Amino acid sequence: MGRMAYVLGIDIGGTCTSAAVSRLVGPTWSRPEIVRLDPQSPVIPSVLHVTTNGSLTVGDPGRDGPLVDGGRIARGFVRRIGDDVPLVVAGEACTPQTLVAVLAMWVVERIVAQEDSDPEHIVITHPATWGPYRKRLLHEALWEIGLTNVTLLPRPVTAAESHSFQGFSGRTLAVYALGGTGYEMSVVRRTQPAGFQVLGCAEGVQPLGGADFDQALTDHVRSAITQQIGAAQLDDRRLRLALFGLGEECARAKEALSVADETEVRVQLPQGPVQLRITRAEFEELIRPALELTVDTLDRTIRSCDLRTDQVDGILLVGGSARIPLVAELISARLSRPVTVEADPQVTVAAGAALAACQILALASRRHDPNWRRQPAPIEYPDGPPSLPQDSAESGDDEQREPPPRPPVRVTPLDLPRPRSGSRLVPGRGFR
C-alpha cells in the first residue's frame, strides 16, 4: 500500500500545543484525527527547555521531574511575537517567533516520523487580534526554519471550520476562547467559496484563564487548611514543603469539578494526610466574577460588529477552560443563543486547522497553480476576504500597522538545533 497523502493543522496556544491530521481517502478527505503529542495527553505544554548540555527539549521539565533552572525554560512566547525585546533562554537572546517556529517544527517532525511522509499542506493558527506585522514575523521565522508550505489562519476561523464540520449550518458564529493564561472573543461569518472571515475580535486587557482559576482554588484550600491546623503551624518548614504541590492537586480538582458535583483535595502534611471536600458550587463562586467579565467582553464584541445577539446563529466555546460548566451557563443566560462546546474543546482549533488545510488544497487545485505551495507570504483562503475588516485598520488599531520606533535592541540569535534529514526532536532528548 502506498503512503497516504495528508494535511496537518497545528494550534500553538499560550499554554498548550495540539495538532490534527486529515488524510486523503479516495477523492475526499477524512475526518480530522487528533495526534497525541504526549503519551498521556493529546496536547503538550507550549514550553521549550534548553538542557545543561545545550540540547533542546519540548514540554515542561518540571511537570514530571525535579525543579530545573527557570532561566533555561521558555514559555508564553506566542503572545510576545511583535515585541522586539528578546526573550533570554539559557543566557542567549532570541526572538519569540523563532521559538514558535522551533515548536512548530518539532510537531511537524513528530508527525512526519509517524506518517513516513511530508504533509501536503500545513495550517498554523494565530490569535485573531494579530495584524499583518505579527503574521509576517511568524511566517518569516517558519520559512527560515524550513516550513514553507504553511498557511496562517486566525484561531476563530479554524474553530468555526471544526464547528461547521460537526453540523453547524448558520452564517454568523461567535467564538469564545478561554485558555490557560488568556481569553479572546471573536465573531466570524461564512464566506464564498469557502471559509470564514473575522468580523470582530477582542482579547482580555489583563491575562485571565485557567491558571488563575487554579490559583483561586489553591488559595481557598490553603485557607481551609490553615483554619484546621492553625496559622502558627505555617512556620514549619516541613509544612511549607508539603504545601508546595498543592497547586497541582487543585488543578486536578478543577478538572474533576467540570464533570462532578464535588471532589476531594488530598494533601500529605507532616501531621498526617488531610482530605478536603470541594463542591462545584464553592468553586464557581470563586471564579464567577472573572467569568462574568469574559461574558461582558463577548457581548461587547458582538455589538461592536453592529450585530444584535439574536443575529448570531450560535456560540462556540473553545480552550481547555471552556469545559467549566459555569461558562456555558453564564453565556446562555446573558445572550440566549445556542451554546456548543465539543467533547475536548482544547483541540477544537487544531481539528479545524486540518479541515482548513483540506479546503485550501481543494481550492488551489481548482486554480491549477503549481507554485501555490512555495508562497513565502502568509495567505488567507484563496479569493476570501481579509481576516479583519478594513475599518479596523482605519480606526487606530496599531496591530494593522508597523510598530512605533523603539530604541535599537541587539538580538543574538539562540543557537537552536536545526533539523537534519531523518532527524527528529523528541521530548527530553533533543534532536535524534
What does the pLDDT look like over 59-97, one tens digit per residue?
776 554 445 666 888 888 998 999 888 888 888 888 999
Q: Answer whether residue 374 shows pLDDT above 90.
A: no
Q: What is the pLDDT of residue 233?
A: 64
The mean of the pLDDT values for the chain is 82
CA distance 87 to 94: 5
Task: Single out the residue of 290, 224, 285, 280 nearest to residue 257, CA to CA.
Answer: 280
Task: Single out the residue of 357, 354, 355, 377 nearest to residue 365, CA to CA.
Answer: 357
Cα-to-chain-centroid distance, residue 94: 21
Task: Single out the residue of 90, 414, 419 nearest to residue 432, CA to CA.
Answer: 419
Q: What is the pLDDT of residue 322?
A: 94
Gyration radius of the chain over CA positions = 22
CA distance 6 to 337: 36
Residue pair 399/78 in contact by the 8 Å Cβ criterion: no
Mapped onto helix, strand or coil, the DSSP state of residue 126 is strand
Q: What is the pLDDT of residue 52?
A: 80
Single-letter amino acid code for the residue at 381: Y
Phi, psi of 230 (to 5 degrees): 95, 140
Q: Answer whether residue 142 shows pLDDT above 80.
A: yes
Confidence of residue 378 (pLDDT cuts 50, 70, 90): very low
pLDDT digits (tens, 9 = 90+) for 38-66: 888 889 999 998 888 877 788 776 554 44
Q: What is the pLDDT of residue 370?
A: 54
Q: What is the set of domains in the chain, with CATH numbers?
A: 6-166+345-431 (3.30.420.40), 210-283 (3.90.640.10)
In this structure, what DSSP letter does residue 234 have?
A: G
Percent of the chain topping pLDDT 70: 80
Residue pair 9/354 in contact by the 8 Å Cβ criterion: yes
Q: What is the pLDDT of residue 372?
A: 46
Torsion sign across C-alpha atoms 366, 19, 107, 214: positive
